[in-house]
Structure 1
Amino acid sequence: MAWEDRTPFDAIEKSFGLGEPQVIAIMRKELKRSSFELWRKRVTGRATKHSALRSEDVTRAYCPTQYKNK
């Protein structure tokens, strides 16, 4: 969930009880350094990762085409 750009940290906290600092620590531990740095650069200040910065029109945590019916 943390890797997906459209999933806000609030949704991760609601689902798993992990706040943003804990998610960052897990990502730092589990990813290669370069991958972590790229991810961190991508999500820092990103409106889709922080519900407070997100538009009120967005009510979902993922892209509608992300989970396709088979």
Structure 2
Amino acid sequence: MNRCSGMEHELTDQEIDRVIEMAWEDRTPFSAIEFQFGLTEADVIRLMKRELKLNSWKRWRARVQGRATKHRSLRQTGVERFKSKAQKQITYNKISKKRY
């Protein structure tokens, strides 16, 4: 398990991978990461800086800084959450699978 300073709990390697994946996604706001993992935007920035190579971190930082889709307060009214029609229902980061 890994420990991040300022974070309230330890994250597993799998959780860290998921946070990184969500942070790279354009339409996943920081508030969604905070809801699922309890990490503030500042915590995510620290985690990304620690886990990514320097050039990757700089590219990510430049990409998300001021991006309206990453910051819920900058989004247009009426844009709550993007969900692809092909995406299955996700509940607390667990994919609900249809049983046959």
Tell me the TM-score normalized by structure 2: 0.61
Amino-acid identity (%):
57
Large movers: runs of 4+ above 4 Å: none
- Alignment partner of 1:25 is 2:46: yes
User: Structure 1 residues 65, 30: CA separation in 2 closer, same or farther (over 3 Å shift)?
Assistant: farther
- 1:67 aligned partner: 87
Aligned residue-pair number? 67
- For structure 2, the 5+ residue unaligned runs are 1-21, 89-100
Root-mean-square deviation (Å): 1.6
- For structure 1, the 5+ residue unaligned runs are none
Cα deviation, 1:17-63, whole Å, max 9, x if unaligned, reads 00000000000011110000000000001100000000122121x45
- Alignment partner of 1:46 is 2:67: yes
Query: Which is bigger in relative contact order (C-alpha 8 A, separation at least 6)?
Result: 1
Q: Going by fraction, where is helix more abundant, 1 or 2?
A: 1
